[in-house]
Structure 1
Amino acid sequence: MKKKILTLAAVVTLPFILLVMYLLASMASYSNTYDEIVSNMTVANNYNLNFKEEMDESLYKLVVGYVTLDTIETDKSLKNPYTLIDELRSEFTRLTAITTESESKLWLESLLRNIDTLEKRVDDIVDSISAGGRYNENIEKLDNNIYILTELIQDDIQYYIYYQTRYMDKVTDTLQDQIRRFMVVCSVLIGVLIIVVAVSAVMIVSGIIQPISQLNQATEKIAQGDFNARAQADSEDEVAELAVSFNKMAGSMQSLIDKVKEDERKMRKADLRLLQEQIQPHFLYNTLDTIVWLIESNEPDEAVTMVVTLSDFFREILSKGKEFISIKEEEKHISSYLQIQEMRYRDILEYDIQLDQVIYKYQILKLTLQPVVENALYHGIKYKRAKGCIHIHGEKEGDIIRLTVRDDGVGMDEEELEQLRQQIEKPCQETEKGFGLANVNERIHMYFGPEYGMKIQSQKGKGTTVEIVIPAILEAPVEKTGNDTAKVAEGGNSVNFDANKKIKSNPKQQNANKIIEGGRPQQEETGV
């Protein structure tokens, strides 16, 4: 495109530049010729005014004996005749060499011959004066030779000036003719240039706009979902390069879209698997067994409490199919999960949830904390064979939210910790263990970026700390439809409970745990 624009500019400007250069050259030539003529005429005119008078006076005073050749230059009003002749010959010899006008040159040649004759006549007078006693003869030579020759020389100079003046007029006429021709040629050239520039501009602009138009059409097709559209550009310019890049981009977009769809399918599959992992048959069977034994042990309140808690747990897991929930909802979910587990593992489990209420309104990926808490319970607290505690903490730090799950369970040594760190950085489908943690970490990376995610610290015998960092993004407002309720039929009567009710431990729960421990054997569960 740059070459095309430069070509158009050259087509427009080059002829005018040539014309201007021609005009400037003509003007410079005229100026030089004019200055030369003026300079020559000035020299000639100076001698025309002074030479005859100075020569005649100097020779007359030599003849009458007023001065001699030796003393003539002492008189400031007189000049040596030979000096005058030499100066005149020198100047007009130079003018002859530089004069080109033929008539002027003829009169200069005549002038130089007369100067030679005058020099001879001056020699005769000087010789006669040297011989002495020839006053009348010398006066006659002045009248008949010197005065006539100086007058002829003066006439030659005047004719030279006359013809130089005519030559100056001729040069001026020539310049005016050149200017007139220049104006005519310039007018014709402007007309031709207008046509040439118009045609060239149409061709060049068309060569620029047409590929851009084709590229625009291809872009519109791409925007409409036709990823087979390609831009055609035969010009060898930036637009052609852009078209090539566009075609490469269009060619890769379909594969990228397919890859995104595949990644989304995998993520949906992973989410489904994670959901299935949370609704484990063992967990559900054991919880239902606990409820049955509570009822058989005549502990209906504890059984109802556990049913409501289980209902809350599954309600939060499903979350109406939403990918994101509020941190407050996530807290409800993890609270329900821990309440159920606390009723089952009363003798070994304590927990503490401390989430800053400031972060309640921010969103979090569903099932972010539950797999981490489950891992802490089954791989930390349970193997401790003594009472342990799970601490859950969360706060906002600038533009991020930091969530921490810490347990005082058995912990891990350096080798085990490093293996787990490597596992959670893999795609969750490729993990051999720690699927739940890898799933959480992968989803955080996918939705928020690689700068967010999970970090694990652990010490053998002291416990494990899992830190989750996510961006602080406010939850989109949703329309509330009222409180959810759960109904449990007991003795033909229905009892309503608020789904968001906080459940606290009570002495009867301890009895329920004793029943569980002393009743049917519970099925073994494994962490995520």
Structure 2
Amino acid sequence: MKKKILTLAAVVTLPFILLVMYLLASMASYSNTYDEIVSNMTVANNYNLNFKEEMDESLYKLVVGYVTLDTIETDKSLKNPYTLIDELRSEFTRLTAITTESESKLWLESLLRNIDTLEKRVDDIVDSISAGGRYNENIEKLDNNIYILTELIQDDIQYYIYYQTRYMDKVTDTLQDQIRRFMVVCSVLIGVLIIVVAVSAVMIVSGIIQPISQLNQATEKIAQGDFNARAQADSEDEVAELAVSFNKMAGSMQSLIDKVKEDERKMRKADLRLLQEQIQPHFLYNTLDTIVWLIESNEPDEAVTMVVTLSDFFREILSKGKEFISIKEEEKHISSYLQIQEMRYRDILEYDIQLDQVIYKYQILKLTLQPVVENALYHGIKYKRAKGCIHIHGEKEGDIIRLTVRDDGVGMDEDELEQLRQQIEKPCQETEKGFGLANVNERIHMYFGPEYGMKIQSQKGKGTTVEIVIPALLEAPVEKTGNDTAKVVEVGNSVNSDANKKIKNNPKQQNANKIIEGGRPQQEETGV
């Protein structure tokens, strides 16, 4: 019985083993042929993409005298034409020796003939260059010989790739025919070999489920936002191709997300630009009213001085549309602003500007100091109801520049100070107060990074100090545009105050009383 069982097992198993061996041999043959075709197509495709461009560019620069044959290798973007020809001839001679498909072989032979012709034409051009004084003739040779031959070579490579692709399809069809024959024979033995088939099925399914499971895990990670997740692609089957495609998709998604983030950053800059362009008109209106009052009060000299100062103020604001200006220009702008305000608030305002001349040449975001100074005036000095002073100080410390605006106004208590600190760390559109300070802080963060920005200290009844830290840069930062050319970032031209408020008279202000007596009431300015 045991012998019969063993014999039966041998009889049943032997045909299956033979069929399996036949199938494995067919698949091995297909795999080897497939790998060879893919390898050949990879080599051909590399030359299809690069050879013509490299050859044309190298010869053109030889003809125009940009390089010589002796110095061409020193330019990393160029290659010696003879080196390119030798490499191409070597690779496609090897491909000719191993290619069995007839149509592909014909195109390889055509390609080698064209290579020989190309080498002769290169010789002609090199000899002509050596003779000298034949620029137009050489250019004509490039157009009528070289470019045409390199295009013919490229066409030969493309035809070779095309027929190799067809040959790959033919090999695949042959394998499928073999598989169909195998299935016919296998169907006869299916009853006897069901157990073996079941076991084989379990093994095959396991081999499929495992990479699919890994692919599923990678998919879940992607769904959770981990775009660095990648599927394993160790095999060479369709699942591996799916894994490769999945990995490419994940990489593309990451690139798209990075692009979206970059677009959002650019949109945010545009938003800041628009916010800066919402100029608070009250300062201009009130200054013009003051000028009219001075004229009506027979003080033309002071009126002229204020007009000139106002002109300087707006000239510095515009700055030819630049976002970055020198610290010296920023100082002129602040000085013009404070001169105007000192004329209007002569009874309550004094100021002192002490910027180290060493920092004059360094770059600063336009309108960095003006919102801080305006805030010190309207929320510090003005509410003090007495003489106050604004001190502006700046110096260089290592690789940074530290700017300080200090006032001896009403100051803030701890709760107000903490609330303001939180507000300036928000995007300026989301702030409830301190809009101008938040705008300055956000622009500094955007252009220089979160390690730079603004710090505020204050004591109730003693005053407020705002410290601004920026990097010491001699040139304005640059930003890459869509075509990778650098340009200086140019954004808004002015800064806005918190929000437009209702216009009203304030007879308690000493300077405003003078304007009222002159018949021209001022509009209230809110600061930033």
TM-score by length of 2: 0.46
Shift of 1:309: 1.5
Residues 72/13 of structure 1: CA separation in 2 closer, same or farther (3 Å cut)? same
- Bigger CA drift: 245-254 or 424-433? 245-254
Contact 2:407 / 2:464 at 8 angstroms: preserved in 1? Answer: yes
Give the Cα separation in 1 of the matches to 2:491 and 2:60: 169
Shift of 1:435: 0.5
Contact 2:99 / 2:105 at 8 angstroms: preserved in 1? Answer: yes
Partner of 2:349: 349
Q: What secondary structure does 2:486 align onto?
A: strand
Deviations along 1:86-116, one digit per CA (max 9) or x if unpaired, are: 9999999999999999999999999999999
Give the Cα separation in 2 of the matches to 1:314 and 1:147: 59
Residues 271/195 of structure 1: CA separation in 2 closer, same or farther (3 Å cut)? same
Contact 1:351 / 1:389 at 8 angstroms: preserved in 2? Answer: yes
Shift of 1:298: 2.9
Give the Cα separation in 1 of the matches to 2:54 and 2:113: 20
- Bigger CA drift: 490-499 or 413-422? 490-499
Give the Cα separation in 1 of the matches to 2:482 and 2:51: 130
- Bigger CA drift: 240-249 or 468-477? 240-249
Shift of 1:297: 2.6
Deviations along 1:107-165, one digit per CA (max 9) or x if unpaired, are: 99999999999999999999999999999999999999999999999999999999999
Give the Cα separation in 1 of the matches to 2:485 and 2:149: 145
Contact 1:274 / 1:436 at 8 angstroms: preserved in 2? Answer: no
- Bigger CA drift: 107-116 or 342-351? 107-116
Contact 2:423 / 2:432 at 8 angstroms: preserved in 1? Answer: yes
- Bigger CA drift: 25-34 or 209-218? 25-34
Contact 2:403 / 2:469 at 8 angstroms: preserved in 1? Answer: yes
Residues 18/147 of structure 1: CA separation in 2 closer, same or farther (3 Å cut)? same
Residues 180/431 of structure 1: CA separation in 2 closer, same or farther (3 Å cut)? closer
- Bigger CA drift: 284-293 or 94-103? 94-103
Contact 2:381 / 2:407 at 8 angstroms: preserved in 1? Answer: yes
Partner of 2:136: 136
Partner of 2:34: 34
Shift of 1:373: 0.4
Give the Cα separation in 1 of the matches to 2:18 and 2:45: 40
Shift of 1:302: 2.0
Partner of 1:16: 16
Shift of 1:427: 1.2
**Coordinate RMSD, CA, aligned:** 35.0
Q: What secondary structure does 1:495 align onto?
A: coil
Shift of 1:523: 1.3
What number of residue pairs does the alignment pair up?
Answer: 528
Give the Cα separation in 1 of the matches to 2:410 and 2:119: 138
Shift of 1:425: 1.1
Give the Cα separation in 2 of the matches to 1:59 and 1:285: 68
Shift of 1:397: 0.3
Contact 1:380 / 1:410 at 8 angstroms: preserved in 2? Answer: yes
> Please, which runs of 5 or more residues in structure 1 have no aligned partner?
none
Residues 325/369 of structure 1: CA separation in 2 closer, same or farther (3 Å cut)? same
Shift of 1:22: 32
Give the Cα separation in 2 of the matches to 1:343 and 1:72: 70
Shift of 1:374: 0.5
Give the Cα separation in 2 of the matches to 1:253 and 1:78: 35
Residues 187/53 of structure 1: CA separation in 2 closer, same or farther (3 Å cut)? same
Residues 260/342 of structure 1: CA separation in 2 closer, same or farther (3 Å cut)? farther
Give the Cα separation in 1 of the matches to 2:46 and 2:485: 129
- Bigger CA drift: 231-240 or 412-421? 231-240
Deviations along 1:202-257, one digit per CA (max 9) or x if unpaired, are: 99999999999999999999999999999996748999899979947965767766
Residues 236/58 of structure 1: CA separation in 2 closer, same or farther (3 Å cut)? closer
Partner of 2:430: 430
Q: What secondary structure does 1:41 align onto?
A: helix
Give the Cα separation in 2 of the matches to 1:448 and 1:239: 46
Shift of 1:263: 6.5
Deviations along 1:292-351, one digit per CA (max 9) or x if unpaired, are: 122223333322221221122222222222221111111111111111111100100000
Give the Cα separation in 1 of the matches to 2:445 and 2:183: 77
Residues 274/30 of structure 1: CA separation in 2 closer, same or farther (3 Å cut)? closer
Shift of 1:267: 6.2
Residues 332/261 of structure 1: CA separation in 2 closer, same or farther (3 Å cut)? farther
Residues 68/285 of structure 1: CA separation in 2 closer, same or farther (3 Å cut)? closer
Deviations along 1:375-427, one digit per CA (max 9) or x if unpaired, are: 00000000000010000000000011000000000000111111111111111
- Bigger CA drift: 35-44 or 392-401? 35-44
- Bigger CA drift: 192-201 or 418-427? 192-201
Give the Cα separation in 1 of the matches to 2:393 and 2:189: 86
Higher Cα radius of gyration: 1
- Bigger CA drift: 469-478 or 417-426? 469-478
Give the Cα separation in 2 of the matches to 1:186 and 1:353: 97
Give the Cα separation in 2 of the matches to 1:493 and 1:132: 58
Residues 183/363 of structure 1: CA separation in 2 closer, same or farther (3 Å cut)? same
Shift of 1:286: 0.5
- Bigger CA drift: 352-361 or 240-249? 240-249
- Bigger CA drift: 32-41 or 323-332? 32-41
Q: What secondary structure does 2:393 align onto?
A: strand
- Residue identity over aligned pairs, in percent, reads 99
Q: What secondary structure does 1:229 align onto?
A: coil
Give the Cα separation in 2 of the matches to 1:280 and 1:138: 66
- Bigger CA drift: 434-443 or 11-20? 11-20
- Bigger CA drift: 301-310 or 451-460? 301-310
Residues 284/484 of structure 1: CA separation in 2 closer, same or farther (3 Å cut)? farther
Shift of 1:279: 3.0
Contact 2:448 / 2:471 at 8 angstroms: preserved in 1? Answer: yes
Residues 189/388 of structure 1: CA separation in 2 closer, same or farther (3 Å cut)? farther
Residues 246/343 of structure 1: CA separation in 2 closer, same or farther (3 Å cut)? farther
Residues 117/179 of structure 1: CA separation in 2 closer, same or farther (3 Å cut)? same
- Bigger CA drift: 134-143 or 282-291? 134-143
Residues 186/58 of structure 1: CA separation in 2 closer, same or farther (3 Å cut)? same
Contact 1:428 / 1:442 at 8 angstroms: preserved in 2? Answer: yes
Give the Cα separation in 1 of the matches to 2:135 and 2:352: 153
Shift of 1:287: 0.7
- Bigger CA drift: 452-461 or 264-273? 264-273
Give the Cα separation in 2 of the matches to 1:68 and 1:186: 69
Contact 1:353 / 1:393 at 8 angstroms: preserved in 2? Answer: yes
Deviations along 1:457-506, one digit per CA (max 9) or x if unpaired, are: 00010000000011111135999999999999999999999999999999
Residues 447/16 of structure 1: CA separation in 2 closer, same or farther (3 Å cut)? farther
Residues 8/381 of structure 1: CA separation in 2 closer, same or farther (3 Å cut)? farther
Residues 330/8 of structure 1: CA separation in 2 closer, same or farther (3 Å cut)? farther
Give the Cα separation in 1 of the matches to 2:49 and 2:494: 145
